[in-house]
Amino acid sequence: MKKLMYLLLVATLLSGLVAIGTACGPTPTPGPTATPKVVEKIVVITPTPAPKRVTLIITGPSSGETGYKVLQKQLERFTKENPNIEVKIQEMPWSSTLQHDMFATWSAGQLPTPDILRLDIVWPAEFAAAGWVISLDDYIKKAGIDMKDFLEGPLSGCTYQGKVVCLPYFTDAGLLYYRKDLLEKHGFKPPETFADLKEQALAITKKEGIKNGFVWQGDAYEGGTCDLMEYLWGNGADVLDDKGNVVIDNPKAVEALSVMVDYIKSGVSPAGVTTYKEEDARNVFQRGDAVFMRNWPYAWAAMNAPDSPVKGKVGAKPMVHGPGQKSAATLGGWNLAVNKFSQNPDEAFKLVAFLTSAEIQKGTALGAGLSPTRKSLYKDADVLAANPFWKDFFDIMIGAKPRPVHPRYPEISSVLFTEAHKALTGEQDAATAIKNMAKKITDIVKK
């Protein structure tokens, strides 16, 4: 009997392990609600005598980030203008991968909150295909929002099968930062091609005794995909074509990945770059330990802060590219969508329109340093006075390209950064990596 009890105990402990699988699964909901396929939302506006009081929840930055206070102020103003709507911020972790997984779990469970989801530029296709966010077309028409003022890149990222499913909130694009002072001192012009960068990095590190030539995001995560895409595009290759065919199996792609591998092998980049994310690269560059860095616009403000060792010594330009090719920047940024299961979609859209309006975006740009998604703001005198470099960034922002648009994007991205990382660490050569990517992504797209 004792033995039996013991076995039972062990079995109980064991089965608890498997529970992770189901504990977070979608809760079975009664009725036919388990078919979230339709993206449209039929809106019947009946004349209501008095606006109902509602509380909205929006996902936002954590209270430690600068953007939090700015958003809080904007929401206070929104409530003043719409006294019947109160808004609460749900703080989210910094990592976009973690945010994705939280959103996906909530949406798969058909949670009505948060009402407004802040989506990374690569998610709208997935969320729209899954039926987790509503189409905003009717709302946009009714509210008369000037869609032409939005940058094309972010807007196309928000469009799935011809329907707008979110509005661009702020944008991002990959940049090449360089040490102006060092390049001038050694008589170099900012590099244009992959080879230029290698030559300059090797020459300057050797003469100046600086530890690293070029730092970037080589870790196996979403940022790794962003970096990889810039090499692919900058060398005339791509992952998917306009029709969604897999086109990565291409000598140009192998060449592009080989450039990244060569940067590590030849000492242009430290071997440890295979563990770097944005902040790791910025830490190294900001301490003056690197000549070049690939990063997002956010890094500019930190590098030019009063206590920064490289203050005033940094320039930014579009990413380097292959011979005879053009530079490419990966499009980043965040967008606001309305949760399909929200009980207050009308009010939620009102808030989305408010936060993405030119006036509010201007406040976000000035207060939190986030790049606006409205073209008009790149000509705004106040914005340019606070961020003079944005005038130069405009072309990069306009030209930034979206990562492969697909409902199964997380799987595609995982293949890209995992296989690329294996090439960067020398586990496989670039040609094998590209072959594997092609094969695996073809399988994913076929599903």
Partner 1 sequence: MRFLTTIHKRGLSQIQLAALLMLPALIVIFLITFYPLAQTFLFSLEDYNAKFATARKFVGPANYIKLFLDPDFRAALRQTLFFTVVSVSAEFVLGLLVALVIHRTFPGRGLVRAAVLVPWAIPTVISARMWEWMYNDQFGVINDILVKLHLISAPVPWLGQPATAMWAVIVTDVWKTTPFMALLLLAGLQIIPEELYEAAKIDGAGTWQRFRRVTLPLLRPAILVALIFRTLDAFRVFDVVFVLTRGASGTRTLVVMNQEVFFSFLEFGYGSAISVLVFVFVALFSFLYMRGLGLRLETA
Would you mind telling me the total number of residues written for the chain in this entry? Answer: 447
Window of 136-144, 219-227, 348-356, 375-383 that interacts with partner 1 by CB under 8 A: 219-227
Window of 68-76, 166-174, 274-282, 392-400 that interacts with partner 1 by CB under 8 A: 274-282
User: Does 219 contact partner 1 by CB under 8 A?
Assistant: yes
Other beta carbons within 10 Å of 200: 23
Which one, 96 or 235, has the nearer CB to partner 1? Answer: 96
User: Does 401 contact partner 1 by CB under 8 A?
Assistant: no
Residue matched to tokens 């009725």: 31
The CA distance from 107 to 114, in Å, is 10
Rounding to the nearest 10 degrees, give the CA dihedral for residues 192, 195, 198, 201.
-40
Window of 189-197, 241-249, 398-406, 418-426 that interacts with partner 1 by CB under 8 A: 418-426
Q: Which of 27, 30, 31, 35 binds partner 1 (CB under 8 A)?
A: 35
Q: Which of 34, 43, 143, 305 binds partner 1 (CB under 8 A)?
A: 34
Which tokens sit at 222?
């979403």
Other beta carbons within 10 Å of 1: 5
Which one, 26 or 244, has the nearer CB to partner 1? Answer: 26
For residue 213, give the nearest of 186, 233, 252 by alpha carbon: 186
Which one, 392 or 427, has the nearer CB to partner 1? Answer: 427
- Exposure string for 228-264, b = 16+ CB within 10 A, e = fewer: bbbbbbbbbbbbbeeeeebbbbbebbbbbbbbbbebb
| The pairing of beta strand 314-317 with beta strand 212-215 | unpaired
User: Does 221 contact partner 1 by CB under 8 A?
Assistant: yes
Which one, 32 or 47, has the nearer CB to partner 1? Answer: 32
How far are the Cα atoms of 189, 204, 257 from residue 185, in angstroms, in the given order? 10, 9, 31
Write down the least CB distance from residue 64 to partner 1, Å: 16
Angle at the Cα of 217 (from 337 to 307), degrees rounded to 5? 90
Residue matched to tokens 């870790």: 219
User: Does 16 contact partner 1 by CB under 8 A?
Assistant: yes
Which one, 22 or 48, has the nearer CB to partner 1? Answer: 22
The CA distance from 431 to 292, in Å, is 27
Q: Which of 43, 143, 271, 305 binds partner 1 (CB under 8 A)?
A: 271
User: Does 273 contact partner 1 by CB under 8 A?
Assistant: yes
Q: Which of 153, 168, 218, 402 binds partner 1 (CB under 8 A)?
A: 218
Window of 18-26, 238-246, 249-257, 332-340 that interacts with partner 1 by CB under 8 A: 18-26
User: Does 308 contact partner 1 by CB under 8 A?
Assistant: no
Residue matched to tokens 């905003």: 136
DSSP symbol at 238: -
Site string for partner 1, 322-361 (x = CB under 8 A): ----------------------------------------
Write down the least CB distance from residue 166 to partner 1, Å: 17
The CA distance from 186 to 41, in Å, is 61
Q: Which of 89, 104, 240, 301 binds partner 1 (CB under 8 A)?
A: 104
Write down the least CB distance from residue 217 to partner 1, Å: 12
Alpha helices in 95-145 (DSSP H): 96-108, 124-130, 137-143
Interacting residue ranges for partner 1, rule: CB under 8 A: 2-3, 6-7, 10-26, 34-37, 97, 100-101, 104-105, 108, 126, 129-130, 211-212, 218-221, 270-275, 280, 283-284, 289, 407-408, 410-411, 414, 418, 421, 425-427
